[in-house]
Amino acid sequence: MRTTSPKLDTAHLDKDDEADLRCRTALELKDRGEYEAARDALFPFWKGIGSRPNTNGLREDLVPRVFLCAGIVAGWLGAKGEVDGVDDYTRDLITESIRLYEAAGRSNKVAEAQAELAQCYWRAGDNETARIWLTTALEELTSGSPARANALLILSSVEWAESHYNEVLKILTLNATLFERSTNHTIKGAYHNQLGITFRAIGAKKTRTNYFQLAKEQYHAADEELRLAKHLAFRAMVKNNLAFVLRELGQLDEAYQCLEQARRLLMRVGDRVRVANVDDSRAQVLIAQKKYSLAERIARSAARTFERAGRQCFLAETLINQGIALARLQQPVRAQFIFQQGIEIAHQAGSLNRAGLAALTMIEELDTLSRKLQAAAFEKAKEWLAGSDSPDIKPRLKAAGKKLATRRQTEPDKAVDVYEVLFNKRYDLDAEVRKYEHDLISEALAKVGGKVSHAADLLNVNHQSLALTIETKYPDLLNERTPVVRKPRSRKKMSRRK
């Protein structure tokens, strides 16, 4: 379903008032999840992703506003679909607005833009940079403004991505009054949803199942706010999150039905990235139902979407689920490759928590890992998950440590380059083929005492061809073959030439 922006009557407005109206309208549409309509509302001042805002002739204070508004809308458009290079483009627009606001001495607007810039980094998985920008922004956004509420929500998302659930709960509860007083239904809905996913994460430990009920209450409150906001995509994600609670409670069929409803809503608004989010959740439910083949297929499809959209953290998460499905389908080689891919992608994105989860899950799911890979994975999982508040991490690490200790009794530790072992090795096919050919010829020569003709028989190749290969491609092997004996020309042939 494609929404269209309302027809704006701007005939009676001058250029500055028109820009002001279009920016306000675009942000209102963004809060309803109508991102294409928000983009259209900014026309002719901005023509969409890839174009530079046209601010010629605008009042000085409106120029950075148009850049910021275009950057915000571009970021949400990019988060919705597979748009190449949108993260860099969005950051450039918002950074330009920050520069212009700083030049004008508008410190509160600088902070507002810094929070939006942080959200760009969070989407890309760079949580540490996002946290730095948010800390700076919140030092300025001290009043109970919508901009502060927005910055706090983004910060809670950053901390949640790093499994700092107690910190998320602290942020949201200390600022509960600010969120409850908000007149923005999207912000209030996002606040209740964020509380819900935090209660669910804390309640994952069986002894704290009362948190699941708290999570469900928050999801119902979120759904009501988002219904008022007319935000279909966010309502779909609330259903997605509710499915996690149902799954934890063992209500797998109900969880899957909830995800199907969420997927249908997202298909209506054409949000491919969030469809992939829901598909990743479907894969997790299917794994719980032991439907591994279907789970692997769905996770693989979601991974392709995340890869095309540049959503590295989401990609790492779904690779973990794909790896689990492959391991339980008794495909250990493929599963190991996928797990290691997830580790490397999360590490490169700066999401060490996800990298640690991928490493830990690989140890749990695969008994075929080499001793050095298992040790390297455990070492980094302990390091990367040290700050996690997830209640199941410590017992999982303890179990993985016991698994490793059993092998240590028969296979002692050896010094290794952890990252070289942990990440998938890249191959140069031509170089590998040449190395194999070189070693095979060397081995054949050694077996026959360096005689090329005998080596050629072993290798089933022509004698002259092998001699030429050694001379032109592998001259270092000339020392391993018997000396070349040049036959003298016969006197008969020489006399003929005379």
Indicate whether 413 pLDDT > 80. no
196 — alpha (psi -120 to 50), left (phi > 0) or beta? alpha
- The predicted pLDDT at position 434 comes to 87
Average pLDDT over residues 378-396: 91
Domain ranges (residues) in the chain: 1-105, 312-426, 429-487
Indicate whether 330 pLDDT > 90. yes
Indicate whether 493 pLDDT > 90. no
pLDDT tens readout for residues 236-260: 999 999 999 999 889 999 999 999 9
Tokens, residue 288: 């719980």
- 384 pLDDT band (50/70/90 cuts)? very high
By percentage, how much of the chain surpasses pLDDT 90?
68
- 1 pLDDT band (50/70/90 cuts)? very low
Alpha-carbon distances of 59 from 55, 253, 351, rounded to whole Å:
9, 57, 41
The answer to whether 226 and 185 have CB atoms below 8 angstroms apart is yes
Q: Which residue has the higher pLDDT, 345 or 415?
A: 345
Indicate whether 498 pLDDT > 70. no
pLDDT tens readout for residues 55-97: 999 999 999 999 999 999 999 998 887 677 888 999 999 999 9
pLDDT tens readout for residues 104-149: 999 999 999 999 999 999 988 889 999 999 999 999 998 889 999 9
Query: What's the whole-model pTM score?
Result: 0.76
Q: Which residue has the higher pLDDT, 415 or 148?
A: 148
pLDDT tens readout for residues 432-480: 888 889 999 999 888 888 888 888 888 989 988 998 999 899 999 988 8
Average pLDDT over residues 21-25: 96
Alpha-carbon distances of 474 from 436, 437, 441, rounded to whole Å:
12, 10, 9
- The predicted pLDDT at position 138 comes to 96
Average pLDDT over residues 485-491: 56
Domain covering 429-487: architecture: Orthogonal Bundle (1.10)
- 391 pLDDT band (50/70/90 cuts)? confident
- The predicted pLDDT at position 450 comes to 86
Cα 322 to Cα 326: distance, rounded to the nearest angstrom: 6
Q: What is the mean pLDDT of the chain?
A: 90
- The predicted pLDDT at position 3 comes to 44
pLDDT tens readout for residues 351-372: 899 999 999 999 999 999 998 9
Indicate whether 178 pLDDT > 70. yes
- The predicted pLDDT at position 222 comes to 97
* Lowest-confidence segment of 5-14, 310-319, 363-372 by average pLDDT: 5-14
- 296 pLDDT band (50/70/90 cuts)? very high
